[in-house]
Structure 1
């Protein structure tokens, strides 16, 4: 029995349980009586963590992302900082990289800074889907502060996730390709992250529902780099036969656009291309790129709003929030 169990049984927030433990005047007598009754009934003995939750706030949030030079990550941090400042919170930023040990070390480092909560940006923090122990460090962190995740989903007490509906987005794009007569849809990705797995699953589900085979040679791993992707497609040109491209990043998709220009393929008639994240690259492309808007700004806003509800208003919040995406149609598709 821990503080999360007591909060659940009493139908209050963990912060409320902690205030009762600390005999805070901010809790109504009725609520205090209810929580104490649940604690007594379950023979709960508060530990140092439970007592510490009710103490004063530093109004500081830790934010960790893999790397700030990525357009998606930079925008996420900008959105978060703006929303946090609006509520009077400062933030400490750490860039962990993608290696497991680096991610663990950065989480521990920010926890040592006496932050009020921790926000992890990016699906890399949800592990590779093969070993749940990859995310044990997040559950351990959540024993000290609430942990919010953006575009990732991890189970555990005191962990709250907001993520894009990537499955539905790629399902809809793939179905749109099929309706326009595309039969050889190349899926291009750069990782096995939570988000990438959801995107691939949507792509595969749409093919299956249409009665199309899932061809392993049409799932092509590359780097999120325009020139690298272009050159890889040119190198494998003789073994790859495709009439459309669905990429998990705008940079990858533009690499396919540049490949088409070199090969003299008409876009979108001979090669249709869709990217992801609706970044500035999409409108910088020639022709302008159709791209899935994963609503990053909405995810960041919802994350901060739920954090405030949890920390300050003591409102029970949803563990997982899924945000619908939008397909922004431009010149590289005709659907």
Structure 2
């Protein structure tokens, strides 16, 4: 949702999601994409999601398929930094400039996010914070205290060069 909200705030309306796995996590990310599109008042139909294989090759392949199908897009959201790196590479193969012609976002805020050119806007799910929270809850249980009913660790969006405001002159 955060990626879509960020991209929508920059004026993007044609946002495509690259889905590269069929895991529980991937389903949750896709659900977040749809919720983000709905909250932003944007349409997300069947062409708004491009399924592909996992990894850099999957990102490259997805960009090629999106272009071949003539799907309009000014921004790409991916469920993983590897797929986003592939999307960046795929855009370059089509003589498009990632971060200028098309905004790209990833997920995990891995070292890859700062290794791509341009550097990747990516969701940091704060795994260290989740671990610390889990240990704190376990400590409460071991001490005989009642743990909280629910605990929420909100991810943070690391905004970098790969996401840019929409411009009609792109593409």
TM superposition score category, shorter chain reference: 0.7 to 0.9
4+ residue runs of structure 1 moved beyond 6 angstroms? none
1:298 is the counterpart of 2:142: no
**SS where residue 321 of structure 1 aligns?**
coil
1:152-202 deviations in Å (ceiling 9; x for gaps): xxxxxxxxxxxxxxxxxxx23212212222121111122343333332222
1:215 is the counterpart of 2:41: no
1:280-304 deviations in Å (ceiling 9; x for gaps): 1111111111101000111111112
What does 1:87-102 align with in structure 2 at a 5 Å threshold? none
Q: Structure 1 residues 322, 223: CA separation in 2 closer, same or farther (over 3 Å shift)? A: farther
Query: In 1, are the aligned partners of 2:62 and 2:87 still within 8 Å (CA)?
Result: no
Q: Which residue of 2 aligns with 1:225?
A: 55
Using CA pairs below 8 Å that are at least 6 residues apart, which structure has the higher relative contact order? 2
Q: CA RMSD in A?
A: 1.8
Q: Which residue of 1 aligns with 2:93?
A: 262
1:284-331 deviations in Å (ceiling 9; x for gaps): 1111111010001111111122112212x1111124322111110111
What does 1:152-191 align with in structure 2 at a 5 Å threshold? 171-191=1-21
1:320 is the counterpart of 2:112: no
TM-score between both structures, scaled by the size of structure 1: 0.46
1:280 to 103, 111, 119: 111
Q: Which residue of 2 aligns with 1:248?
A: 79
Residue segments in structure 2 that go unaligned for 5+ positions in a row: 166-171
TM-score between both structures, scaled by the size of structure 2: 0.86
Q: Structure 1 residues 271, 290: CA separation in 2 closer, same or farther (over 3 Å shift)? A: same
Larger Rg, first or second structure (1 or 2): 1
1:229-262 deviations in Å (ceiling 9; x for gaps): 2134224521033211111110011111001111
Residue segments in structure 1 that go unaligned for 5+ positions in a row: 1-170
1:54-89 deviations in Å (ceiling 9; x for gaps): xxxxxxxxxxxxxxxxxxxxxxxxxxxxxxxxxxxx
**SS where residue 292 of structure 1 aligns?**
strand
Q: Structure 1 residues 327, 283: CA separation in 2 closer, same or farther (over 3 Å shift)? A: same
The separation in 2 between residues aligned to 1:235 and 1:193, in whole angstroms, is: 22
1:199 is the counterpart of 2:29: yes
Q: Structure 1 residues 232, 209: CA separation in 2 closer, same or farther (over 3 Å shift)? A: closer
